[in-house]
Amino acid sequence: MDVRKVAAVVRREFVERVRTKWFIISTVLGPVFLIGITVLPALLAARGSGSTIAVVDEGTGTFARHLVTQLGSGNRFQATVVSASAGNERATLDSLTRLVQAKLLDGYVAVSPATIESGQFEYRGRNVASITNMAVLESTLRQAVTTERLTRRGIDAGLVQEAQERIHLDKKRITRQGATGETGEATFFLAYIVGFILYMAIFLYSVNVMRSVIDEKQTRIIEVLVSSLRPFELMLGKVIGVGSVGLFQMAIWGISAFALVAYGQVLFGFLHISPEQAAQVQLPVIGLGMVLMILTYFLFGYIIYSALFAVVGASVNTESEAQQAQMPVTMLLVVAIIMFPMILNDPGGKLAVAMGVIPFFSPIIMPIRATASEVPPGELAVSLAVLVLSTFAVVWLASRIYRVGILMYGKRPSLKEMVRWARES
Amino acid sequence: MSNDSVVDIERITKRFAGHVAVEDLSLAVPRGAVYGLLGPNGAGKTTTIRMAMNILIPDEGTVRLFGDARGGRHHSARIGFLPEERGLYKKMKVRDVLVFLAEVKGVPRAAAAQKADRWLERLDLGDWRLRKIEELSKGMQQKVQFISTMLHDPELLILDEPFSGLDPINQQELKDIIVELSRGGTTTIFSTHQMDVAEKICDHVCIIAGGRKVLDGLLAEVKRVHGGTHVAVAFEDGDEKAVAILADRALVAKADDYGPYAELAMAEGADPQRLLERLVQSGARLRRFERIEPSLHRIFLDKAGAEHAGPAQEVQRGRP
């Protein structure tokens, strides 16, 4: 093998790709997205004055005022009491409806002694789809109604207050290093992001290898190339070249992520976000070992899929033909992504362990498992061993089909024909 | 076969689904030759060249380059190859493409860039070197591709239809370069069906038709052996008076009217002097009467036309 020739191919693939608009845009958008998901929740917490709602009091005495205080204690609602004198309820509600239509009010809920007894409340508003707002409204109402009912039946208000004290379940992950500061939500979120980025990166970059193969075939430059260097050298150079573009991009993203964690406070200060609001944003901490493991899986996942996509590219004549021909390979990746919720639900379960060994899924599944919980070192070793060995086998097989396919034009070969190429070449 | 052959093809046969593209073809290209591979469309020229370059593997027979049967890629640094189907990376800049194609032949980057600039300048493409390939006209792209075959100073150039698609000025330029390189010791094989071009620059020719070799050898030798005696005649005002004489098969075997003049192939053993006498006696006013070498065109038509039976078709799908 001629290293200099491979290097020339690597260089071309790298330089030509890094120069494209697509690369520049996606590289810049990565950190922007990262900043977005970090800063947005804090910003929203800062700006959110909440929904303005009216509580229509149809003769409940202190209940309406109590409810308004409760609703106002979070920062979701700005509530006011509107008293409706007896016989005047209809007119009051109509005028409130007009206020909602004029967007001066977000919504209203009417309370009367009858509704407190029956527990049937009705909220009318512009946006009833906000699940969290409605959930908060409902639980606040429940609490207020419970207090009211108990008080009416003569139970001491202080006692009721004590019994109503909210509870909070804090979820912390335990790893071998002991309890971490991460919450359950942050872990779940992180695992999801890791899985999704891996899926996108493996898919996009290996499809780029396929595009490059088709381009050389379509322009017929392939005849000059195969008379200059071995098809395997060409394929190798392509895979390394496109892969290093991927690693380069990830490095840029990684560095900006680290910078965000390190200088996050500066950024928050710049955007006038108070430390209390910033504290609501959980920045997950990823260790170096984890980073290395994710990169290893990305690398082998990318190699195995780019070899498969190179075969697809070598077996077709045009990009549009490739759309159809790439389906079987794409499906493999899609299966992995469909499994996301099930794996996250039970990262140590039988399904997760099995998927973690299959080389076409493990590059995405194993990093998810490892971020969501602890993976036994034995399972990790088996998964990696199977992945590395399969990668060699797939690349070997793919290169044999590739070197025949790149010089073929005309009808697309059947799977049987491809097997024959692999055997004969 | 001479030991000094740069390309030595021995009895190669290539079959594709349903038909034979090349059959039992042998040829030897001596060092320093300008070798024309001539034949009508579908004769098997491209298939032969692809087998010579090891892009296709012959079903039978052997190909030796520089006396070595391992195939073109092992000598890629010594060979410049222009395939029939042209194509370059459309999105790349002219100079970058040239440097890349030289690099995969093993030329160091800096040297490749320097040579690329020199050749681009020579072929009037200097101002285009930083443009993308897709911005160039077809003819310019073809010139760029031709440059790419020479950047590594190959000993052997294999050019498939190098002149097709070029205007007369660029054709001339290409011819000049081939002749110049040949003086410097480069061996060139090129395929064409343009006989006038081949006639001007080839010293060796090989005519193939229907996948088989019809004849080959030194151009002068081919003309001497296969040509017979030829005469060019032209008349002042019409050839009515000479028609009968030209139709005399004892004297003239074949007449090709090219318009301004006619090329006559003399019948076996007939004397041109005798023809001239008869024409003068007939009273036809001669403007030209000249003993000429038979044109390659004539020989090609005679030889390839006879062999070339049935509709020719270009082979699209290869199977190594």
Q: What is the pLDDT of residue A179?
A: 55
Same domain, B220 and B279: no
Residue B310 predicted with pLDDT over 50:
no
Domain boundaries, given as residue ranges, for chain A: 9-43+176-424, 49-164
Helix (H, G, I), strand (E, B) or coil at A185: helix
Alpha carbons B74 and B63: distance in angstroms, whole number: 13
Candidates B49, B104, B144, B161, partner chain A, best to mutate (most A CBs within 10 A):
B104
What count of residues does chain A have?
A: 425
Rounded (10°) angle between helices A231-270 and A184-218:
140
Could you list the beta-strand ranges (E) of chain B. 5-16, 19-30, 34-38, 60-65, 79-82, 156-160, 187-192, 204-209, 212-218, 230-235, 252-257, 262-266, 286-292
Asked if residue B209 lies in contact with residue B176, where contact means CB atoms within 8 angstroms, the answer is no
Average pLDDT over residues B144-155: 93
**Structure confidence at residue A44 (pLDDT):** 64
Residue B283 lies in a domain: yes
**In terms of domains, do B278 and B203 share one?**
no
Alpha carbon distance A170, A180 (integer Å): 12
The amino acid at residue A273 is I
- Say which of A4, A218, A226 has its CB closest to residue B55: A226
Residues B163 and B65 occupy one common structural domain: yes
> Do B278 and B130 have their domain in common?
no
CA angle, A396 as apex, A390 and A400 as ends, to 5°?
145
What are B112's two structure tokens?
């490749």
Check CB contact of B7 with chain A, cutoff 8 Å: no
**Number of Cβ atoms within 10 Å of the Cβ of A98:** 11
Whether residues B263 and B173 fall in one domain: no
- Of the two residues B221 and B310, the one the predictor is more confident about is B221
- Among partner residues B56, B103, B317, which is closest to A8 by beta-carbon distance? B103
Same domain, B106 and B42: yes
Clarify whether residues B49 and B169 are in a common domain.
Answer: yes
On the question of pLDDT at A55 being above 50, the answer is yes
Reading phi first (left if > 0) and then psi (alpha if -120 to 50, else beta), residue B234 is in beta
Query: Measuring CA to CA, how many Å separate B276 from each of B123, B143, B238?
Result: 48, 48, 17
pLDDT score of A135 = 81
Establish if A423 touches chain B: CB-CB under 8 angstroms.
Answer: no
Contact A16 B318 (CB under 8 A): no
Rounded Cα distance between A371 and A290, Å, is: 8
Indicate if B238 and B95 belong to the same structural domain: no
Query: What gap in Å lies between CA A368 and CA A371, rounded to an integer?
Result: 5
Same domain, B261 and B192: no
Dihedral angle sign, alpha carbons of residues B235, B241, B245, B247: positive
pLDDT digits (tens, 9 = 90+) for A227-237: 888 899 999 99
Where is average pLDDT lowest: A101-110, B35-44, B88-97?
Answer: A101-110
Is A387 strand, coil or helix? helix
Pair (B253, B172) in one structural domain: no
Same domain, B41 and B183: yes
Give residue B319's pLDDT. 39
Gap between the Cα atoms of B305 and B300, Å rounded = 7
Q: Which of residues 208-247 of A touch B (CB under 8 A)?
A: 215, 218-221, 223-230
pLDDT band at B114 (very low <50, low <70, confident <90, very high): very high
Chain A residues 18-77 with CB within 8 Å of chain B: none
Q: A304 near A359, Cβ under 8 Å?
A: yes
Closest CA to A391 of A273, A294, A304: A304
DSSP string, A28-88: HHHHHHHHHHHHHHHHHHHH---EEEEEEESS-TTHHHHHHHHHHHSSSEEEEEEE--TT-
Chain B partners within 8 Å of A407 (Cβ):
55-56, 318, 320
Is the backbone of residue A272 left (phi > 0), alpha (psi -120 to 50) or beta?
left
Name the burial class of residue A149, with classes exposed (0-12), middle (13-18) and buried (19+) by CB atoms within 10 angstroms of its CB: middle
**What proportion of chain B, given as a percentage, has pLDDT over 70?**
94
Residue B219: in which H helix or E strand, if any? helix B219-227
Tokens of A172: 């912390």
Residue with tokens 């950190």: A31
Question: How far does the CA of residue A41 sit from the closest CA of chain B (Å)?
Answer: 42
Which is nearest to B33 in space by CA: B204, B207, B254? B204
Q: A4-8, A114-118, B250-254, B298-302: which has the highest mean pLDDT?
A: A4-8
pLDDT of residue B318: 38
pLDDT confidence of A178, banded at 50, 70, 90?
low
Q: A211, A221, A234: which to substitute to probe chain B, counting the most B Cβ within 10 Å?
A: A221
- Mean pLDDT for B184-192 is 93
User: What is residue B319's DSSP assignment?
Assistant: -
- Phi, psi at A52, each rounded to 5°: -90, 120
Residue B68 and residue B123 in one domain: yes
A318 touches chain B (CB under 8 A): no
Gap between the Cα atoms of A69 and A55, Å rounded? 11
Report, as an integer, the average pLDDT of A263-278: 68
CATH architecture of A49-164: 3-Layer(aba) Sandwich (3.40)
For residue B250, the domain's CATH number is 3.30.70
φ and ψ of B291, to 5 deg: -70, 125
Q: What is the pLDDT of residues A39-50, one digit of tens each?
A: 776 666 555 557
- The DSSP code sequence of B14-37 is EEETTEEEEEEEEEEEETT-EEEE
Domain that holds residue B213: 5-224+302-307
Contacts 24+ apart (CB under 8 A), A100-109: A100/A124, A100/A125, A100/A126, A105/A52, A105/A53, A105/A54, A106/A51, A106/A52, A106/A53, A107/A51, A107/A53, A107/A54, A108/A53, A108/A54, A108/A55, A108/A56, A108/A82, A109/A53, A109/A54, A109/A55, A109/A56, A109/A137, A109/A141
**Is the confidence at residue A29, as pLDDT, over 90?**
no
Does residue B54 surpass a pLDDT of 70?
yes
Asked whether residue B246 is assigned to any structural domain, the reply reads: yes
**pLDDT-based confidence at A354, cuts 50/70/90?**
very high
Q: Is residue B281 assigned to a domain?
A: yes
Which residues have C-beta within 8 Å of that of residue A389, sequence separation ≥ 6? none
State mean pLDDT over B267-281.
86
- Look at chain B and report how many structural domains it folds into: 2
Please tell me the distance from the alpha carbon of residue B46 to that of residue B59, in angstroms, as a whole number: 16
Residues of B in contact with A230 (CB under 8 A): 73
User: Which has the closest alpha carbon to A83: A108, A63, A58, A54?
Assistant: A58
* Amino acid at position B48, single letter: T
Point out the residue among B76, B85, B106 whose CB comes nearest to the CB of A223.
B85
A:B CB pairs within 8 Å: 76
Q: What CATH number is given to the structural domain containing B202?
A: 3.40.50.300
